Amino acid sequence: MPAANVKAAVEVSAAVDKQVVSLNDYLTLTVYVSGDNANASNVQIPSLSNFSVSSSGRKTSISIINGRISSSMEYSYVLTPKYIGKTSIPPIGVSTGKEKFFTKEIEITVVAAKSSQSYQPAAQQNPITRSQAKNRPAKGTPLENLIFVKAETDKKTAYPGEQINLSFRFYTAVPIARNPEYIPPKLSNLFSEDLPPIRSGETVINGVKYYYSEIKSALFAINSGEAKVGSIAVTAQVQKEEDIDPFDPNFMQKFFSGFTNYEEVKLQTKPLNLDIQPLPENPPDDFSGAVGNFIVSREIDRKEVKKGEPVNLTLKINGKGNLKDISLPQLSSPDIKVYDSLSTHSLTKHDDIIGGEKKVTYIISFKEEGVKEIPPIKFSFFNIDTKKYETIETSPIKVKVLKGDDAKTYDFSQKPDGTGGIDIKGSDIKYLLNSSPSLSAKISSSINRLPVYFHLLFPAALFLAFMKNRSLYEKLKNPQFYAYKKAVSVFENAMKESQSIEDKDPSRSLSIIYDALMDYLSARTGENVYSLPIDKLLSLYSQKFKASEFTLNEIRSLLEQIEFLNYAPSGLNAQKVSEARQRALVLSEMIEKETGK
């Protein structure tokens, strides 16, 4: 069911394709953003304790009508449940840079996994023999042979920008209490895109039947040289070994069941190294790093226009590859004035291939009348299929430019009778103040009669002005340092304010803690971190400082705790706010020590 939140000129809503989902299935969540500033939106998916979340793409559309730009975005996510029961997707935050909007909460019910086999009641079943227990693990098999993980890439060498598919599989031959908790790898010289949904199935290895879950992601190298995929970790809860009976007639039914007699198992894969080769030499002059396989097309909103009137020229780049990072092709012509260009992209993930469409809209006008030509627009890329550089271009467009509307002008070179210029009749300067010498003397005499200390006020004011200007000069020399010092003071005062109202208004107290923490981190990093997802915030912090893993985990944990309390106000109380405030104070001390401030 869609949920909407409307404010100003922006509309935000969220919907799921199903509200009842089985444990071995998944659902699709779509967040819709439309309005004047939708193209700059940033979706912040909150921490979901009962779901694994992966992005499945986004779509963008833009329209320019009568000079007004309007855009809409669709963000899609695949949610895989972890355990059975009633749960919910809390409000999803959407930031547009200046404002933040929230969707409504969506209720979800997770039911038991669908079984691929049908079973008769136990009373009607014949006794199970070893010959009937084909592909079941032998009793006493070591646990490491019953549950394990594996990660691999579809290629070991690649070019920068070339797609590399990473496949991770979790295998189990024993019942598990819930879907395993997946911890993604750390990437070096790589960035990733999810390739949902999570696959599942059955396979036989060395005569033993395993159930598996597979997670795929697309990797793209940033630069040539070495790239690395860190270890992928998984935490699973399996039935205790003494309770495992492979000859139990209900053995297979226990997979993904809700039993409670379990033990926790932690698994991880080995790191993977990749060799990223440099692109071939001698690229085209206009090559800007695009790698993939693309086609281009163009369209114009009208072919008859008045001189000086704006026209929308749209260039479309379609194909496979990392479209969102493609640089915009340049449009230039002596007959054309280019006012601005707007770009949007739609990301697709069909058959585990990243692709889609990038659309560039140029707002142009023509300088002269007549039949004018919009020249071809060239686009160069490295074709990943042929391993060669290619340059493609659009066909030219003929446009008929009509005479524009003449603007009203005024000519001040003629007199009203048309006989010449403007005559100056004369000038008359009047002095408004004419002080007499006697008045000046009276003022001077009055000043001389004032006490001596009064005469010191003027140099004292000059000195204070000098010190104020010097302080301002120092701030201008190092604005980030002074912004940081101010943020520290504001942070400490905010913590006191939060403490003073936590009993009366826990929600407001929590909001003060969050705002103070984000202001502090913004000043510390020199960037506005309000609109950044937690992962990007941590990445920015790591780039600025040599951050310890403990500090990064504490920042993540505290922000997730605050978001959870904010999205679940029924569980909010003064004690929990106090705990969040104490964690924020300790975290600030850790950051001060770690960064040497």
Architecture of the domain delimited by 140-276: Sandwich (2.60)
pLDDT at 226 over 50: yes
Compute the average pLDDT of residues 160-167.
95
pLDDT band at 98 (very low <50, low <70, confident <90, very high): low
- Of residues 283 and 76, more confidence is placed in 283
pLDDT at 293 over 90: yes
Quote the strand ranges of 395-482, DSSP E: 397-402
* H or E stretch covering 80: strand 68-81
Compute the average pLDDT of residues 476-504.
73
Structure tokens at 229: 């995929």
Cβ neighbours of residue 109 closer than 8 Å, sequence gap 6 or more: 19, 20, 21, 85, 86, 87
What is the structure's pLDDT at 129? 43
What is the structure's pLDDT at 396? 92
Among 345-349, 378-382, 434-438, which range has the highest average pLDDT?
378-382
What is the b/e burial string over 485-506, where b = at least 16 CB atoms within 10 angstroms of the residue's CB?
eebeeebeebbeebbeebeeeb
Strand partners, 415: none
Report the range of poorest mean pLDDT among 88-97, 375-384, 482-491.
Answer: 482-491
What is the C-alpha separation between 390 and 374, in angstroms, rounded? 22
Inter-residue contact 139 to 245 (CB < 8 Å): yes
Compute the average pLDDT of residues 578-585.
85
Task: Residue count of the chain, please give it.
Answer: 597
What is the structure's pLDDT at 149? 94
Tell me the residue type at 530.
Y
- Read off the DSSP letter of residue 286: T
What is the structure's pLDDT at 445? 62
pLDDT at 340 over 90: no
What is the structure's pLDDT at 36? 67
pLDDT at 467 over 70: no
The maximal CA–CA distance of the chain, rounded, in angstroms, is: 129
Strand partners, 399: 372
Cβ neighbours of residue 362 closer than 8 Å, sequence gap 6 or more: 312, 313, 314, 315, 331, 338, 340, 341
Strand order through the sheet with 370-374: 304-306, 397-402, 370-374
Tell me the residue type at 486.
K
Strands 190-194 and 199-205: unpaired
What is the structure's pLDDT at 567? 57
DSSP-based helix, strand, coil % in the chain, nearest 5: 25, 40, 35
What is the structure's pLDDT at 20? 92
| End-to-end C-alpha distance for the chain, whole angstroms | 50
- Read off the DSSP letter of residue 389: E
Degrees, nearest 5: CA angle 413-417-421: 25
φ/ψ of residue 454, rounded to 5: -65, -35
What is the structure's pLDDT at 3? 41
Q: Which one, of 175, 6, 21, 129, lies nearest residue 84 by Cα? A: 21
Give the count of alpha carbons within 13 A of 162, CB side only.
24
What is the C-alpha separation between 470 and 196, in angstroms, rounded? 58
pLDDT at 114 over 80: no
Tell me the CATH number for domain 3-111: 2.60.40.10
Inter-residue contact 240 to 261 (CB < 8 Å): yes
Inter-residue contact 299 to 269 (CB < 8 Å): no
Inter-residue contact 374 to 396 (CB < 8 Å): yes
Please write down the HEC assignment for all residues of 30-78.
Answer: EEEEEECCHHHCEEECCCCCCEEEEEEEEEEEEEEECCEEEEEEEEEEE
Inter-residue contact 506 to 574 (CB < 8 Å): yes
Please write down the HEC assignment for all residues of 129-182.
Answer: CCCCCCCCCCCCCCHHHCEEEEEEECCCEECCCCEEEEEEEEEECCCECCCCEE
What is the C-alpha separation between 41 and 44, in angstroms, rounded? 10
φ/ψ of residue 122, rounded to 5: -60, -35
Predicted TM-score (pTM) of this structure: 0.55
* Cis status, amide bond into 81, omega within 30 of 0: no
Compute the average pLDDT of residues 524-546.
78
Inter-residue contact 321 to 293 (CB < 8 Å): yes
pLDDT tens digits along 383-436: 999 999 999 999 999 999 998 765 443 333 344 344 444 343 443 443 344 444
What is the C-alpha separation between 79 and 95, in angstroms, rounded? 22
Q: By percentage, how much of the chain surpasses pLDDT 90?
A: 23
What is the structure's pLDDT at 100? 80
pLDDT band at 75 (very low <50, low <70, confident <90, very high): confident
Report the range of poorest mean pLDDT among 269-283, 417-431, 452-466, 572-586.
Answer: 417-431
What is the C-alpha separation between 109 and 249, in angstroms, rounded? 29
Torsion of CA 61, 66, 67, 70, to 10 degrees: -30
pLDDT at 447 over 80: no
Mean pLDDT of the chain, nearest integer? 77
Tell me the CATH number for domain 293-402: 2.60.40.740
